[in-house]
Amino acid sequence: MAADFVQNWLATTPGFATPFLLAALGLMINERAGVLNLGCEGMMLVGAMTGAVVSFHTGLAGAGVPVAMLAGALVALVFGIAVVVFRTDQVLTGLIIVAFGDGLTGVVGRPYMFEKVAGFRDLDLGPLSDIPWLGPILFQQDILVYAAAALAVAVWWGLDRSDVGLRLRAVGEDPATADIAGVNVQLFRLAAVVLGGALCGLAGAYLSLASSFVWTEHMVAGRGWIVIALVIFSGWRPGRAVIGALIFGGAEALIPRVQAMGFDVPIYLVGMLPYVLTLAVLIVPTILRGERSPAPSALLLNYLRQDRR
């Protein structure tokens, strides 16, 4: 029974980790360019809602994904124009985007609440999926789980190894120097914000199309905020984001497992686990690390060309 419990838990963990990973990769692209978009929760909501609506009308989960990404990107574009062009406060604007996403999805998504939609089912990879233990964990996931893993590699390569990534990081670390070197700071930031929004939209779509096959109001339930902490926890590195996402996904996966096993534990106190865990991973490294943070140096600072030193 204990072995079953562990196996079931491990097999459901990747599905819970995927939305965390996707959104964390998106935010990482933003933040490495020096823009903190606290609106993650809002963009995920918009992605979850549009993905479900498109899937509901077309009957194709695959059609929901690009639309959700586009919708996330559009909301991010609103944020980007305000922050990058009109130099609004990043924190405040991010909070507005959360409320905007919450309000917009509540209004537009209302008729679609609790409608069953077509979603992504777990793949059956034949003999691979039948391997005891490893099969269910590694080879019985839905396609987006594998896509997220591939994206993590792509984002790592893009940020740390590619030419464009070098410029993007320069914009986030020292925009004045990047500016002098001929990098268009504002354009890079805007592009990073939009790309990040697309990934947050995808993360939201995962919740409605692969986790629950249904759209409900507020369904992101604070995951967007956990992701922001996850990015800090991962030290802005895609590789560590994978580990962080698995930890948070694992914690969340425990909740339905514990319920299914019929353990006599107070379920709402167990429900605090993801949030308390987030607080812990946020607090412990900050205390240990002290003043030296791996955050991009220009994070949260809007760039004004005449301020360059």
Partner 1 sequence: MLGPVYLVPRQEAPLWLRASTFVGGIALGLLIAFGILIAYGVSAGQIVNEFIVFVFLDLNGLAQVVTASTPLVLVGLASAVALKLRFWNIGVEGQMWLGCIAATGVALFDIGPDLVRLPLMFVAAAVAGACWIGIPAFLKLRFRVNEIITSLLLTYVAYQLVQHLLFGAWHDPGSAFPNSQHYDEGTERLARLGWGSTHTGIWIAVGAGVLLWIVMTRARIGFYMDAIGANADAARAAGVPVVLTTALAAAMSGGLAGVAGAGLAAGQEYRMTLFIAGGYTFSGIVIAFIGRFRPIPVVVTAFVVGGVYTAGDTLKVFYQLPGAITTLIEAVILLSLVTVEFFSRYHLTYGVRERA
Which tokens go with 37? Answer: 């978009």
Structural element, H or E, at residue 101: helix 90-108
Q: What count of Cα atoms within 13 Å lies in the side-chain half-sphere of residue 263?
A: 14
Which tokens go with 237? Answer: 């590195």
Q: What is the DSSP letter of 110?
A: G
Taking the CA atoms of 217, 275, 36 and 240 in sequence, report the sign of the dihedral they define.
negative
Q: Does 187 bind partner 1 (CB under 8 A)?
A: yes
CB of 251 to partner 1, least distance (A): 13
- Return the residue of 86, 127, 161, 182 that touches partner 1, per CB under 8 A: 86
Rg (CA), the chain: 20
Q: Does 279 bind partner 1 (CB under 8 A)?
A: yes
Amino acid identity of residue 30, one-letter, is N
Q: Closest Cα partner for 178 from 301, 308, 30?
A: 308
Q: How far, in Å, CA of 268 to CA of 12, rounded?
A: 20
CB of 121 to partner 1, least distance (A): 30
Count of residues near partner 1 by CB under 8 A: 52
- Return the residue of 226, 241, 253, 254 that touches partner 1, per CB under 8 A: 226
Q: Mark residues 5-44: x for contact with partner 1 by CB under 8 A, - for none.
A: ---------------------------------x------
| 224, 98 contact by CB (below 8 A) | yes
Chain positions 233 to 272 lying near partner 1, rule: CB under 8 A, are: 266, 268-269, 271-272
Q: How far, in Å, CA of 255 to CA of 268, rounded?
A: 10
Q: Does 297 bind partner 1 (CB under 8 A)?
A: no
Q: Does 222 bind partner 1 (CB under 8 A)?
A: yes
CB of 145 to partner 1, least distance (A): 25
- Return the residue of 11, 21, 33, 82 that touches partner 1, per CB under 8 A: 82
Q: How far, in Å, CA of 61 to CA of 213, rounded?
A: 9
- Return the residue of 62, 153, 184, 265 that touches partner 1, per CB under 8 A: 184
CB of 109 to partner 1, least distance (A): 9
Smaller CB separation from partner 1, 16 or 156? 16
Q: Closest Cα partner for 230 from 270, 189, 285, 150?
A: 285
- Return the residue of 6, 60, 99, 181 that touches partner 1, per CB under 8 A: 99
CA distances from 284 to 105, 163, 290 (A): 35, 34, 10
Stretch that binds partner 1, among 20-28, 152-160, 163-171, 227-235 (CB under 8 A): 227-235
Q: What is the DSSP letter of 84?
A: I
Q: Does 74 bind partner 1 (CB under 8 A)?
A: no
3-state secondary structure of 214: strand
Chain positions 142 to 181 lying near partner 1, rule: CB under 8 A, are: none
CB of 284 to partner 1, least distance (A): 10
The binding site for partner 1 (CB under 8 A) comprises 38, 78, 82, 85-89, 91-93, 95-100, 102-107, 110, 184, 186-187, 217, 221-222, 225-226, 228-229, 232, 266, 268-269, 271-272, 275-276, 278-279, 282-283, 286-287, 291, 304-306
